[in-house]
Amino acid sequence: MADHLTAKILKEHLLSGQLRPGGEIAIKIDQTLTQDATGTMAYLQFERMGAERVRSELSVSYIDHNTLQGSFENADDHRYLQSVAARYGIYFSRPGNGICHQVHLERFGIPGKTLLGSDSHTPTGGGLGMLAIGAGGLDVAVAMAGGPFYLDVPEVMRVNLVGALPPWVGAKDIILELLRRLTVKGGVGKIIEYGGPSVAGLTVPQRATITNMGAELGATASLFPSDEQTRRFLAAQGREGAWRKLQADAGARYDDEITLDLDRLEPLAACPHSPDAVKSINEIGPMPLDQVAIGSCTNSSFQDLLLAATILEGRTVHPRTSLVISPGSRQVLMMLARCGALEKLIAAGARILESACGPCIGMGQAPPSGSISLRTFNRNFQGRCGTADAGVYLSGPAVAAVSALEGRIADPRRWGEFPDLPEMPVIIDDRMIITPPEDGGAVKIIRGPNIRPLPLNSALPDTLSMTVLLKTGDNITTDQIMPAGAKILPLRSNIPAISEFVFAPLDESFSQRAREAGSGLIAGGENYGQGSSREHAALAPMHLGVKAVLAKSFARIHHTNLINFGILPLLFDSPQDYDRLRRDDRLVINNLPDQLGQDGICIANETQGYKFTVKHRLSPRQLEIIRAGGLLNLMRAKG
């Protein structure tokens, strides 16, 4: 039987279940990664499991999110993470070494391996032919301890790439066109495989841009074949021995297929406030710009930044526009310096930031009030940039660079011939990656005062009586549930403190009302919990007493995070039930443990005096977790 690439990798790693639609499978995880905004909690959870050493083939702890050290919290977290890494056998990528996804491509990624990361953009690794999946920190902690990762058998969509990219059109335009066609819900429950005659012409950094933003489609993962482009990339990194050829069999069948003619693409941008609000640059028009930001894990490779430097050479950034550059890794920054591109960027007036996530996660460089910012990032959710009333557009580096010069969103095709970009030898310098000692038993783990004990939920009661604390619309993001930014991110290891900001962008009174209610429910629309993998969007509401979320549909990672922390995810049976529900209604579910085993769950709305039925899509394993009050409770109960 002809297999697609997804089936090949899943079969190599299958531990239980069958590759049949609708079922749940468990797979072996070869590699894990964490970053510092999610890693502290992941390692606190790993410690609670009692393992003496990580059991994955490779685990890496990256410092790339919380790098602004305005006070002690971030620095304390970094010290904790470094000591945990040494204690348990984890590689530690020091602050300044780069963004986890870029560095993992360069130094650790291996075709055909599975990678689980506590960051929603972990699927970037699919540009190397890895099955790379984003997850909550608790799932990653379980994988580090040698446990399996569970997922529903995904549908597999093939994207056939034909034709050739026109001059000034890049990989970012490919994924933006897919977002325009499929929307942010188009990839939910799917793995996206890229194939067709044009794949061979895309470099690994270009492929990584596309797989990175597969997360914005809601996809579980995105995959490119491992071919000659992959071999060349790994050889340049001094890792050719990690290469293996991997591709789909001829005649492999897919659940869905779509063809993208690259010849017909033009420069695109996503408009505020969603990555799928895509228009051509000409449709948007010459929008005046206050800020341009080039970098992030999406477009911060050497090739991307060399293109920007070449465009900027001998010119000056427009007086009304601020330009900031975030190199994806220390390797990229060193290569820019060696070839002279860094000097060109600085001479043009660009401000060089450290090799970290920075503005993408709201850590610095917030634009002015009511301003317009153009960024080569992957998300433009409202307020994510740090300024609630700013409008953020997303584009590729060519559009961003010429727009910085013109002071307005501009079409780079008016700038003549596309520049010829030279290649240069890759600089390999791993001194900022700390290899763990063979035996970390004597290592002392250092905990700062902001690192608080991990809160746990209680077991599921027979009766749930809950107040509807909030009613949301569609596509609610984890940024809206648990905001990021320079003020809030430092509290990631302190759940009582960070819980004060739950749902703050939607309702600043939420945390107080939740505490007063004692037991609460959130009513959500479609695709509830899209975006970041941050499990704080489940953990902090749990700490405030949220017992259930009732939504029209859920984003994959957030649905799992809710289960892992004992919050019951339920589904509306009809749109009318959502419409009828009001904030502050008192809802009661009786005989809940028994009802979970039935087709429908009856909820009494005591405030309005009616009953309605909801559903769930929980597997027997997930039901066991919910009944225990969360995954850690279940693991402790089982010893």
Residue 374: burial class (beta carbons within 10 Å; 0-12, 13-18, 19+) = buried
Rounded mean pLDDT, 300-318: 98
pLDDT value at position 184?
96
- Do both 224 and 306 map to the same domain? no
- Three-state DSSP state, 185: coil
pLDDT value at position 535?
95
Structure tokens, 315: 């010119």
pLDDT value at position 599?
84
Within a domain: residue 424? no
- Do both 41 and 172 map to the same domain? yes
- Do both 259 and 307 map to the same domain? no
Within a domain: residue 76? yes
Backbone angles phi, psi at 522, to 5 degrees: -105, 135
Query: β-strand 190-195 against 221-223: which pairing, if any?
Result: parallel
Within a domain: residue 447? no
Within a domain: residue 446? no
Within a domain: residue 583? yes
Contact call for residues 287 and 271 (beta carbons, < 8 A): no
Separation between Cα atoms, residue 445 and residue 82, nearest integer Å: 9
- Do both 226 and 289 map to the same domain? no
With b for 16 or more beta-carbon neighbours within 10 A and e for fewer, the 519-552 pattern comes to bbbbbbbbbbbbbbbbbbbbbbbbbbbbbbbbbb
pLDDT value at position 346?
98
pLDDT value at position 400?
98
Rounded mean pLDDT, 383-404: 96
Residue 70: pLDDT over 90: no
Specify the length of the chain in residues. 639
pLDDT value at position 232?
98
Contact call for residues 557 and 136 (beta carbons, < 8 A): yes
Residue 639: pLDDT over 80: no
- Do both 38 and 13 map to the same domain? yes
pLDDT value at position 485?
87
pLDDT value at position 520?
98
With b for 16 or more beta-carbon neighbours within 10 A and e for fewer, the 34-64 pattern comes to bbbbbbbbbbbbbebbebeebebebbbbbbb
pLDDT value at position 171?
98
pLDDT value at position 334?
98
**209: CB partners within 8 A, 6+ apart:** 127, 170, 171, 172, 175, 298, 299, 301, 304
- Do both 550 and 611 map to the same domain? yes
Rounded mean pLDDT, 99-127: 98
Last residue of a domain, one of 264, 280, 295: 264
Backbone angles phi, psi at 387, to 5 degrees: -125, 115
Separation between Cα atoms, residue 95 and residue 93, nearest integer Å: 7
Q: What angle do CA 72, 74, 79 make, to 5 degrees?
A: 90
- Do both 238 and 327 map to the same domain? no
What does the radius of gyration of the chain's CA atoms come to, in whole angstroms?
24
Q: What is the 3-state secondary structure (H, E, C) of 38-92?
A: HHHHHHHHHHHHCCCCCCCCEEEEECCCCCCCCCHHHHHHHHHHHHHHHHHCCEE
- Do both 329 and 197 map to the same domain? no
pLDDT value at position 636?
85
**Would the CA dihedral through 394, 396, 400, 402 be positive or negative?**
negative
Contact call for residues 551 and 481 (beta carbons, < 8 A): no
Structure tokens, 163: 């034709």
- Do both 324 and 387 map to the same domain? yes
Label residue 486 by pLDDT band (50, 70, 90). confident
What is the identity of the amino acid at 331?
Q
H or E stretch including 344? helix 341-347
Label residue 249 by pLDDT band (50, 70, 90). very high
> What CATH number is associated with residue 595?
3.20.19.10
Within a domain: residue 319? yes
pLDDT value at position 21?
86
Query: β-strand 601-605 against 586-589: which pairing, if any?
Result: antiparallel
Within a domain: residue 104? yes
Separation between Cα atoms, residue 392 and residue 293, nearest integer Å: 10
Residue 347: pLDDT over 80: yes
- Residue 226 forms beta bridges with which residues? 246
Tell me the pLDDT tens digit for each residue of 546-589.
Answer: 999 999 999 999 999 999 999 999 999 999 999 999 999 999 99
- Do both 470 and 387 map to the same domain? no
Separation between Cα atoms, residue 310 and residue 347, nearest integer Å: 12
Last residue of a domain, one of 203, 232, 264: 264
- Do both 390 and 474 map to the same domain? no
> What CATH number is associated with residue 369?
3.30.499.10
The distance in angstroms from the start CA to the end CA of the chain is 42
Rounded mean pLDDT, 341-361: 96
Q: Please state the domain count of the chain.
A: 3
pLDDT value at position 167?
97
- Do both 295 and 227 map to the same domain? no
Mean predicted lDDT score pLDDT of the chain: 96
What is the identity of the amino acid at 455?
P
Tell me the pLDDT tens digit for each residue of 20-69.
Answer: 988 999 999 999 999 999 999 999 999 999 999 999 999 999 999 989 88
Tell me the pLDDT tens digit for each residue of 511-530.
Answer: 999 999 999 999 999 999 99
Residue 346: burial class (beta carbons within 10 Å; 0-12, 13-18, 19+) = middle
Label residue 223 by pLDDT band (50, 70, 90). very high
Which residue range is the domain that position 220 belongs to? 5-264
Within a domain: residue 452? no
Which percentage of the chain shows pLDDT scores above 70?
100
